[in-house]
Amino acid sequence: MTALGAPAPAAQAGASSAGHLVVTGTSKRFGAAVVLEDLSLSVAKGEFVSLLGPSGCGKTTLLRCIAGLLRPDAGRITVAGQDITALPAHRRNVGVVFQNYALFPHLTVAENIGFGLRAQGVSRAEAAPRVAEALALVRMGEHADKPVTSLSGGQQQRVAVARALVVRPSLLLLDEPFSALDRKLRETMQVELKHLLREVGITAIFVTHDQEEALVVSDRIAVMNSGRIEQLADPATLYGRPVSLYVLDFVGQSTRLAGRIVAVEDGVVTVETSLGPVRAPGRFAPGSRVAVAVRPEAVTLGEGVAGANRVSARVSEISFLGSRTQLHLDLPAEGEDRGVVELPRLPEGVQPGSRVTLAFREADTMVFPA
């Protein structure tokens, strides 16, 4: 395991404090469509970063540029201080786990894992123990001689990971690695894979459109929007302090109310919304159109703490989620207003149609330009 995780000597020699993977000013267009726009990103050694965004935001294009499967139109990509922008894919030593794993159906499990070693000229005798080690690492030892087509989804993923890791890449890229698995298995594999990669000590980039998955597997998440990184932060910051409505909506749920600034004092603005005035920390000119938002678990029913925002709303729907209960609020249908509140336990007497008072702290309230 340690041998597998040991970085290649070249990678160590060239390491710099600037970050293990550094993408600078990278652009890519397909015809008239700009897919990556002057994008920059720095990832530290051993860090797990997710590229999160809807399809078409450029996350897979960025991954393919890093892997060398696409050539960016502009910009520079370095790994461990070495400029790899012009290197072809087969000389980059960047491992990739593909969306549908792209295992070779004409080879067995062990042959799939040994493929990269053989391609790099490692002799059969030298490759065998390393393949065995990789098989053991992903707990697939007993399946070594099976055809890959006979494996389950989770097993196929393990083989794909082992195949990418066995050549000791300087970087591992994973393209929607869990999308082919069913929900239950996905949750297990997320934790398992995170643990495994941590043990190996590799730097990993996950591409995903699933915000829950990104929150589970990443140290930091880059939320991407039309070819650019909208926000790059750790999961807690991203969730608690999103920089834009786009990030707010993409990561987690929230109650969101459109409004207009009616008062400004000492870095606190008062916003007139469809549910009444709401105060939030922020700096906006009076009269600006804004949206205020609060995360579902930051809201309590009743009066709340002193000085909290209080609004009154009608409950439209109640969803029991097991560990918590979700209330949906009845808001005017026009506009993008919506209301979601999550409570550890449903207070007695609250049912669809009930009018409730919601309280949330000023500090938990966010305000964005609309």
CA angle 207, 73, 228 (to 5 degrees): 45
When the beta carbons of 117 and 329 are compared against another protein, the nearer one is 117
Task: Report, in Å, the least distance between residue 188 CB and another protein.
Answer: 24
Q: Which residue, chain included where needed, has tokens 């491992």?
A: 95
Is 205 in contact with 46 (CB distance < 8 Å)?
A: no
Judged by CB, which is closer to another protein: 71, or 314? 71
Structure tokens at 140: 């697939």
Of the pair 84, 238, the CB lying nearest another protein is at: 84
Contact positions vs another protein (CB under 8 A): 67-69, 88-92, 94-96, 98-100, 102-106, 115-116, 119-120, 163-164, 167
The least CB distance from residue 224 to another protein, in Å, is 21
Closer residue to another protein in complex, CB, 153/281? 153
Closest CB 119 distance from another protein, rounded Å: 4
Helices 109-119 and 153-165: angle between axes, nearest 10 degrees? 20
Rounded CA gap, 341 and 121, in Å? 59
Query: To which H or E segment does residue 211 belong?
Result: helix 211-217
CB of 179 to another protein, least distance (A): 13
> 189: left (phi > 0), else alpha (psi -120 to 50), else beta?
alpha
User: Which residue in 255, 251, 230 sits closest to 240, CA to CA?
Assistant: 251
Least distance in angstroms from the C-beta of 106 to another protein: 5
Please give the backbone phi and psi of residue 230, each rounded to the nearest 5 degrees, phi first. Answer: -80, -40
Rounded CA gap, 337 and 81, in Å?
Answer: 47
CB 84 → another protein: shortest distance, Å?
12
Q: How far is the CB of 36 from another protein (least distance, A)?
A: 18
Q: Distance between CA 165 and CA 167 in Å, rounded?
A: 6
Q: Which is nearer to another protein, 106 or 195 (CB)?
A: 106
Q: Which is nearer to another protein, 87 or 318 (CB)?
A: 87
Q: Which is nearer to another protein, 163 or 209 (CB)?
A: 163
Measured from the CB atom, the residue of 107 and 343 that comes closer to another protein is: 107
Give the C-alpha separation, 191 to 170, whole Å. 22
Closest approach of Cβ 103 to another protein, in Å?
8
Q: Which CB, 165 or 341, lies closer to another protein?
A: 165
| Pair of tokens at residue 218 | 């990443």
Q: Which of 68, 71, 83, 67 is nearest to 35 (CA)?
A: 71
Closest CA to 114 of 147, 159, 163: 163
Strand ranges (E), the chain = 21-30, 33-43, 48-52, 74-79, 82-83, 94-97, 171-175, 204-208, 220-225, 228-233, 255-265, 268-273, 276-281, 289-294, 300-301, 309-320, 325-330, 340-343, 355-360, 366-369
Least separation in angstroms between CB 15 and another protein: 22
Identify which of residues 100 and 188 has a Cβ nearer to another protein in the complex. 100
Nearest distance in Å: CB 309, another protein: 50
